[in-house]
Amino acid sequence: MAHHSDSSSSMVRLNIGGRKFCTTLDTLTQREPDSMLAAMFSGRHTICQESEKGHIFVDRDGKHFRHILNWLRDGVIPPLKDSEYAQLLREAEYYQLLGLVDGIKSALSKRKEDEELGTELTRIDIIKCIQSDRVRFRGINLSGLDLSKLDLSFVDFSYACLKTVFFSRANLQCAKFRDVDAEASIFHNATLRECEFTGANLRGAVLAGANLQSANLQDACLIGCSFCGADLRSAHLQTADLTNANLEGANLEGANLKGAKLTNANLKGANLQRAYLRHVNLRDTHLEGAKLDGANLLGAIR
């Protein structure tokens, strides 16, 4: 055990959960003088110092400690993902850095406001629009809107940003979603018959129970999508990326899956009768209980 008695400008070496940092007493004590860090290095407390190179050990995750040091040096909140802000907030609360805690909460609040402002139309705006004969939302940002249970048939959403939009039980028959970004959107039990999804990004979207009969999903990014119990009869899925997709119990009868990526896809209990699976790699898929009667498997890898 060692008692710290160096001057305020002296060097301090820290070991935060195995990650090494080097700073000064001024940095640790001046911006947030009432924090735990300031108290630790005030000279009033005995602190644990390693024998090798004199690092002071703190039993916390050091992943975000550099952001804490930069805050203490410059008073700047780093631009991070929401999940990383949550981790940094826990560390700031542990070290009792109240200024940093307030700064993170303000940054998250501002981000939420910016996202709301970024949405160009509201649900009420959409309802008013669809009452007209021909509706186009091409290239518009509709992120995060609740469009559930609306009749959106024949609407053109091409090139729009539809991230996390809620389409559950909506009627989207013959709607166009060409090259949209609809990552993590929810289409649970939606009617999507004959929809155009060519080149769309639907990564992580929920399409469980959706009616996608004859829908065109060619070249679409469907990584991690949920199609549990979905109706994909005669759907066009050529060269679509279905890596890690969940198609358990889905009806893919007569669907065209030529060139589709099915790595680690779950096809348990799926109906693949008369499906077109030529040259598709089925080796890493889960096909327990799947029906393959009459499927075209010429050149398929099993």
State residue 167's pLDDT score: 94
State residue 115's pLDDT score: 64
Of 77-91, 129-143, 177-191, 219-233, the poorest mean pLDDT is in 129-143
Provide the CB-side half-sphere exposure for 194 (13 A, CA).
5
Q: How far apart are CA 135 and CA 129, in angstroms?
A: 7
Q: How confident is the model at residue 2 (pLDDT cuts 50, 70, 90)?
A: very low
CA nearest to 158, candidates 140, 172, 138: 138
CA nearest to 195, candidates 158, 146, 150, 229: 158
Q: How confident is the model at residue 206 (pLDDT cuts 50, 70, 90)?
A: very high
* 261, 240 contact by CB (below 8 A): yes
pLDDT at 124 over 50: yes
pLDDT at 211 over 70: yes
State residue 53's pLDDT score: 66
pLDDT at 48 over 70: no
Q: 55-109: per-residue pLDDT in tens?
A: 888 889 999 999 999 999 999 898 888 889 999 999 999 999 999 999 999 888 8
Q: Which residues pair with 161 in a beta bridge?
A: 141, 181
